[in-house]
């Protein structure tokens, strides 16, 4: 049975379970459940604190897990990303009162509050900056107003929390992060030998493709086919079938959902007609 760690709370939890459900896996029915077995797919899901997932996975007790790249780096665990999942995107940044700290080098001798000490300590050490790091579990923005820290390092998604606290980012982003599937570094060596993991990854890749692509169908005159196909090259190559009306062909290709309307406009301009897009519900590439 494949053993998979899933975030039990916070920003990652809902979207991770939704993605697993979309990939055909049974998910827990209520938020207090700690373990769920999906006997049909021979998978056991363990709902764990997001910060702990990389540690469980690197220990080898669980085969793979879903977590954030930033949480993985912060833990220092010996696990690695095997599939980025495209949700829970964020940047990790320093911030302070406007103008109070201009650069990372200015942090020398100052105090930084964060919930991600691992990331901050590594970043400062790599740049030879000696500063104190204070661990806080959350609401780190308030640490400056209360005089606990000169600067903070925190997850920024929309920037609303920083704005509300009257703070501004400084320096380059420390890192960018998104949800991902991770696996223990040692185990990743024989990845090819593990068909269940490969099947799991193919299912999630299928969900990612189904979320980002649509199927496009249209009819066009044979003489416009090359130009039309240049607009809709598909993943491998489009399917082209003859129509009953001579001189016309039907074309079918997957196109990125973002920009599909623009492609439809361009195809119409080219003389294509009966241009349809339909959602893809599931896919194996």
Ligand X SMILES: O=P(O)(O)OC[C@H]1O[C@H](OP(=O)(O)OP(=O)(O)O)[C@H](O)[C@@H]1O
Give the footprint of ligand ATP on this chain (CB under 6 A). 9-12, 50-51, 68, 70-71, 88, 90, 138, 155, 157, 177
Q: Which does 206 bind (CB under 5 to 8 A by kind): ligand X, ligand ATP, none?
A: none
User: To which H or E segment does residue 126 belong?
Assistant: helix 117-126
Q: How far is the CB of 156 from ligand X (least distance, A)?
A: 4
Q: Which does 167 bind (CB under 5 to 8 A by kind): ligand ATP, ligand X, none?
A: none
Residue 209: CB atoms within 10 Å: 16
- Which lies closer to ligand X via its Cβ, residue 106 or residue 154? 154
- Which lies closer to ligand X via its Cβ, residue 51 or residue 224? 51
Q: How far is the CB of 88 from ligand X (least distance, A)?
A: 11
For 11, half-sphere exposure in the C-beta direction (CA atoms, 13 angstrom radius) is 15
- Which lies closer to ligand ATP via its Cβ, residue 77 or residue 249? 77
Q: How far is the CB of 88 from ligand ATP (least distance, A)?
A: 4
| Alpha-helix runs per DSSP H in 127-212 | 142-145, 160-164, 195-212
Residue 14 touches ligand X, criterion: CB under 6 A: no
Residue 175: CB atoms within 10 Å: 17
CA pair distance 79, 81, nearest whole angstrom: 7
Which residue in the set 159, 225, 243, 248 belongs to the binding site for ligand X (CB under 6 A)? Answer: 159
Q: Are 15 and 75 in contact (CB under 8 A)?
A: no
Task: Looking at residues 95 to 154 of the shown chain, list those that interact with ligand X (rule: CB under 6 A).
Answer: 138-139, 141, 154
Q: How far is the CB of 136 from ligand X (least distance, A)?
A: 8
Q: Which does 154 bind (CB under 5 to 8 A by kind): ligand ATP, ligand X, none?
A: ligand X
Which residue in the set 41, 161, 205, 277 belongs to the binding site for ligand X (CB under 6 A)? Answer: 161
Q: How far is the CB of 33 from ligand ATP (least distance, A)?
A: 17
Residue 155 touches ligand X, criterion: CB under 6 A: yes
Compute how many residues bind ligand X; rule: CB under 6 A.
11
Q: Which does 159 bind (CB under 5 to 8 A by kind): ligand ATP, ligand X, none?
A: ligand X
CA pair distance 129, 105, nearest whole angstrom: 6
Torsion 160-6-192-184 (CA) sign? positive
Exposure string for 136-174, b = 16+ CB within 10 A, e = fewer: beeebbebbeeeebbbbbbbeeeeebbeebebbbbbeeb
CA pair distance 229, 254, nearest whole angstrom: 11
Q: Are 162 and 156 in contact (CB under 8 A)?
A: yes
Applying CB under 6 A, the residues found at the interface with ligand X are: 138-139, 141, 154-161
């Amino acid at each position: 049975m494949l053993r998979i760690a899933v975030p039990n709370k916070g920003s990652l939890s809902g979207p991770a379970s939704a993605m697993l459900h979309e990939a055909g896996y049974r998910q827990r029915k209520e938020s207090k459940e700690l373990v769920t077995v999906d006997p049909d797919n021979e998978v056991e899901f363990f709902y764990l604190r997001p910060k702990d997932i990389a540690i469980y996975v690197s220990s080898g007790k669980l085969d793979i897990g879903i977590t954030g790249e930033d949480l993985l780096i912060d833990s220092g665990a010996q696990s690695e990303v095997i599939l980025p999942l495209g949700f829970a995107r964020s940047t990790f940044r320093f911030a302070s009162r406007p103008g109070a700290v201009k650069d990372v080098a200015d942090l020398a001798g100052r105090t930084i509050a964060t919930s991600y000490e691992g990331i901050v300590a590594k970043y400062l050490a790599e740049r030879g900056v000696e500063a104190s790091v204070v661990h806080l579990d959350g609401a780190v923005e308030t640490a400056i107003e209360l005089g606990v820290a000169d600067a903070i390092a925190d997850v920024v998604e929309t920037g609303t929390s920083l704005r509300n606290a009257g703070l501004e980012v400084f320096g380059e982003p420390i890192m960018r992060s998104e949800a991902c599937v991770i696996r223990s570094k040692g185990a990743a060596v024989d990845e090819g030998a593990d068909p269940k993991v490969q099947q799991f990854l193919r299912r999630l890749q299928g969900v990612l493709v189904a979320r980002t692509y649509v199927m496009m169908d249209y009819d066009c005159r044979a003489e416009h086919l090359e130009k039309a196909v240049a607009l809709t090259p598909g993943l491998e190559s489009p399917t082209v079938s003859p129509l009953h009306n001579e001189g016309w062909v039907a074309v079918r290709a997957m196109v990125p959902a973002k920009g599909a309307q623009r492609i439809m406009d361009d195809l119409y301009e080219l003389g294509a007609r009966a241009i349809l897009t339909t959602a893809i519900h599931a896919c194996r590439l």
